[in-house]
Amino acid sequence: MSESTASPAKNKMLIIVALALVALLVVGGALAWLLLAQRGAADEEEGRAPSAQAALPKTPPTFLPMDNMVVNLADPGGDRFVQVGITLELADAKTSELVKTYMPSIRSKVLLLLSQRTTDELLTREGKEKLALDIRREVSHPLGFSVPKPRRRAVQRDLDEEELEDDEVAPRRSRADDNPVRQVLFSSFIIQ
C-alpha cells in the first residue's frame, strides 16, 4: 500500500474512535444525571433534604443498653407493674464510659421515676415521651448537663392563631443541644 491510501483509512479510524468516545461520554453523563435525579426524588418522598448526608454528625452515636427493669406502678392497690428496656443514645464512646461509671445511681433514679407513674400515664404516647425526657434528665445530671423542662404550649391544636389571647406566647424555637445524652429509647415496654 502506498502512503496516500493508508492516511485516509487512518483518519477515518481516528474519527470513528473519537466519535465512539464522545458518544460514550454523552451516554455516561446522561446516565449519571438520571441516577442523581432519581435519588433526589427519593429523598423528597422520604422527607429528607437532598444533602441529608452532609447533615449527619461527624461521629456516629453510641448506644448503651441498660438492664431491663421491673417496677411496681403507683396504681391504687399496687398490683400493676411495668417491665422496661432502655437504651441510651450517647454522643460518643467516651460519654458511654462516663455513664457506665454512674450507672448504679442512674438505675436507682430511673427505678424511682418509674415507680411514681401510673398505668394510665404510661399507656399514652405523651406519658412515655415525658418519662423518656425525665430519664434523660436523670442520666444527664451526673454528667453536668441539664435538660430543660418542656414549656407549656400556648397554641392548642384546635385553636387558630387568631384566637390566641394577648398573654399567650408562641413556643420558642429550640436551640442547639450540646448534651451528650441525645435520646432515651425504649427497647421494650410491658405493663401488666
pLDDT value for 71: 94
Q: Containing H/E element for 6?
A: helix 3-45
Same domain? For 33 and 92 the reply is no
Per 3-state DSSP, what percentage of the chain is helix, strand, and coil (rounded to 5)?
Answer: 50, 15, 35
Same domain? For 91 and 183 the reply is yes
CATH of the domain at 68: 3.30.479
Same domain? For 95 and 184 the reply is yes
Same domain? For 34 and 70 the reply is no
Residue 169 falls within a domain, yes or no? no
Residue ranges making up the domain that contains 119 = 62-150+178-191
pLDDT value for 30: 78
Sequence-distant (≥ 6) Cβ neighbours of residue 27 within 8 angstroms: none
- All three cell numbers of 8, joined, read 485516509
Distance, CA of 123 to CA of 29 (rounded, Å):
55
Same domain? For 93 and 130 the reply is yes
Same domain? For 72 and 125 the reply is yes
Residue 163 falls within a domain, yes or no? no
Task: Give the torsion sign (CA, 171, 177, 181, 182).
Answer: positive
Same domain? For 140 and 87 the reply is yes
Sequence-distant (≥ 6) Cβ neighbours of residue 93 within 8 angstroms: 62
Residue 156 falls within a domain, yes or no? no
Question: pLDDT of the chain along its 192 residues, tens only?
Answer: 555 555 777 788 888 888 888 887 888 777 777 777 777 666 666 555 555 555 555 788 999 999 999 999 999 888 899 999 999 999 999 999 999 999 999 999 999 999 999 999 999 999 999 999 999 999 999 988 888 776 654 334 444 444 444 444 444 434 447 899 999 999 999 999
Same domain? For 97 and 183 the reply is yes
Condensed to tens digits (0 to 9), the pLDDT of residues 148-161 reads 776 654 334 444 44
